[in-house]
Amino acid sequence: MIKKIHNSLKSIWPQFHNHGQNVHLKSFYTFTDYWHLWGMSIFVLAVTALAPLCFVTLIHYQLIQQSVDSALNLRAERLASNAKRSISFFMEERLNALIFTVNEMGYKKLTQLDELDEILKNLKLGFGGMSDLSVIDMDGNQVAYAGPFNLEGKNYKTQPWFLESFKKTNFISQVFTGYRDLPHMIIAVRSIKPDGSFFILRATLDTERLIQTLSSYKTGNHADIFLVNRKGVLQTPSTNYGNIFTQTNLSFPGNPTQTEVIMTTHKGNDPVISGYSFISTNIVSTPFVLVVEKKKAGMIHVWLKLRQNINWTVGISVVLILLVITFASTFMINRLFLIDRTKAETMLQMEQNQQLVSIGQLAAGVAHEINNPLAVINQTAGYVKDLCSLTKEPLDNADLIENIDSILDAVDRCGTITRQLLGFVRQFDIKIKKISLQKLLTDVLSFHKKEAEYRGISVNVSIPDTLPDMETDKGKLQQILVNLINNAFQALEEGCCLDIIVSQITPQTIELIIQDTGCGIPEHNLQKIHEPFFSTKQDQMGTGLGLSITYGLVKKLGGNISVQSTEGVGTCFTITLPVKIQEGELA
């Protein structure tokens, strides 16, 4: 688009450049000034319009980003808190059931296999998630067992969970494999036998039930929720870290009772919102840490779509603003240029008019001054001729009489020329009247009669007898003919020909052709001949105003002018003029 605007400015520049350069109008801008002004106006308007838009958009982005981050953290914290309560309740509920069983049944009933099987069955029906029950004495021997595994007679004295359970009344272990060679966890309650020694009632919790509970809180593929121990070893499978017992790089400073939310990164520098909290019950603490991880990109897809829409809206707005600014600046600069050019043309026309007025005044004064000595010469020559004819003996000198007659003829011709000059000078006032084109051509050609005879130039005039009189401005039409015929004579060499052909092409239009066989005009100069001060005369005697004034006068008379020329062959000017124009139509 900028290229089109550039070409548009360049297309209107040459006329102004020719005017300003030739008349030396120093106050007007050059093309570079207009180009610089155009660029500066676009820049200033663009900055003024786009700076607030960009500033508001950036602030809007920051506010929305802060709101989104706050909302994402809150969602992650809420999810972790809800999952923590659910897991805590899951473990606490089963631990309470185990405590109630120990207190109600006692050691004797618990060691009876039928009773223990019935208790396991009831616990499964009431709570679920328990796979077996066993009673273990203080030496680590399994006294009674109810469940699907073949664990009768096993000794757990060296097992870490057994050692820990004897230190605490109630105990929840981390996930391990043990004798089953399968991941599981236990809850244990320490109680006293009738003889005062300790025993342990142990229940095995199914990790699948725990995993299902955690999975119910997953909100999409971008979320991962799992359990680890205090050392960062997975206790349940994780989408991001792998299967159970995988060592992770997670660390948990402190022992927060509330959920903590932090921003971390995974491989590929993808931002992840992580929430973690230590699992504990009202009865006993656990070795588990609940971890919730949510990929930020997956959580903010709605915001990303909104941001994309905002970007499109802002982008389209910027483009529209730039287009409007560009077109507005171009329009204003073009208008400013046209105003400056009109001003330059007006000043040039005023200068030309002033020059013509001065030339007219000078011509009137010269004609008046010449008329005075011409009158004296005319009277003196006539007096001498009369004396010669009134003497008693008339002079029989034919040469003398002939010379006196030549003087009188020359005086008469000079008088005719001065009268025509004065008549031409008086045509500055616009006045439409009926004229004969044939008589007007005769008057104009009379100025060149002697020159044509002296140089052997053939002047041929063709005017039909049926040509009507024209109603137009005589002075302007006379000036047109004088300028064109003068240019033709200046281009003609000795023995050349000038043809003037007049025809009526329509009832309202007359065509005037002035054709010479002179030197012609080079093709590259044809487009410039109507420009003011353009001249091809090598002697620098031409002003370059003749054809420019002629072109303007033809337009003022409501006509058109065209030119065809071949260098070395000749030139042909074709003028079409209305037969009759109204005074109000005269420009």
Final residue of a domain: which of 265, 299, 333? Answer: 299
Average pLDDT over residues 214-241: 88
Domain assignment present for 326: no
CA distance 546 to 563: 14
- CATH number where 436 lies: 3.30.565.10
pLDDT at residue number 488: 85
**Poorest-confidence range of 10-24, 380-394, 558-572?**
10-24
CA distance 209 to 124: 12
Predicted confidence band of residue 236 (pLDDT cuts 50, 70, 90): very high
Q: What angle do CA 578, 583, 587 make, to 5 degrees?
A: 75
Nearest Cα residue to 388 out of 407, 401, 378, 406: 401
Domain count, the chain: 2
Domain assignment present for 209: yes
- CATH number where 162 lies: 3.30.450.20
Domain assignment present for 294: yes
Q: Is the pLDDT of residue 447 over 50?
A: yes
- In tens, the pLDDT along 524-546 reads 676 666 665 556 555 444 445 56
**Dihedral (Cα; 501, 505, 506, 512), 10-degree rounding:** -30
Give every strand in the sheet of 142-146, ordered side by side. Answer: 142-146, 130-137, 198-205, 185-192, 170-172
Beta pairing partners, 388: none
Structure tokens at 24: 């030396």
pLDDT at residue number 6: 46
CA distance 81 to 23: 88
DSSP string for residues in 305-354? HHHHHHHHHHHHHHHHHHHHHHHHHHHHHHHHHHHHHHHHHHHHHHHHHH
pLDDT at residue number 360: 64
Mean pLDDT of the chain: 80
Q: Is the pLDDT of residue 497 over 50?
A: yes
Distances (CA, A) of 529 to 522, 537, 561: 10, 12, 12
| Contact (CB, 8 A) for 222 and 213 | no
Domain assignment present for 556: yes
Final residue of a domain: which of 240, 272, 299? Answer: 299
Which amino acid is present at 273? I
Q: With residue 266 as reference, give the H or E element that holds it.
A: none
Final residue of a domain: which of 299, 319, 341? Answer: 299
Q: Report the b/e string of 236-254 with b at 16+ CB within 10 A.
A: bbbeebeebeeebebebee
Average pLDDT over residues 122-136: 89
For residue 180, what are the domain limits? Answer: 68-299
Average pLDDT over residues 320-327: 91
CA distance 13 to 338: 10
pLDDT at residue number 222: 78
Domain assignment present for 1: no
Helix 301-390 with 398-425: angle, nearest 10 deg:
150
pLDDT at residue number 25: 41
What is the value of pTM for the model shown? 0.50
Q: What angle do CA 142, 143, 146 make, to 5 degrees?
A: 80
Domain assignment present for 79: yes
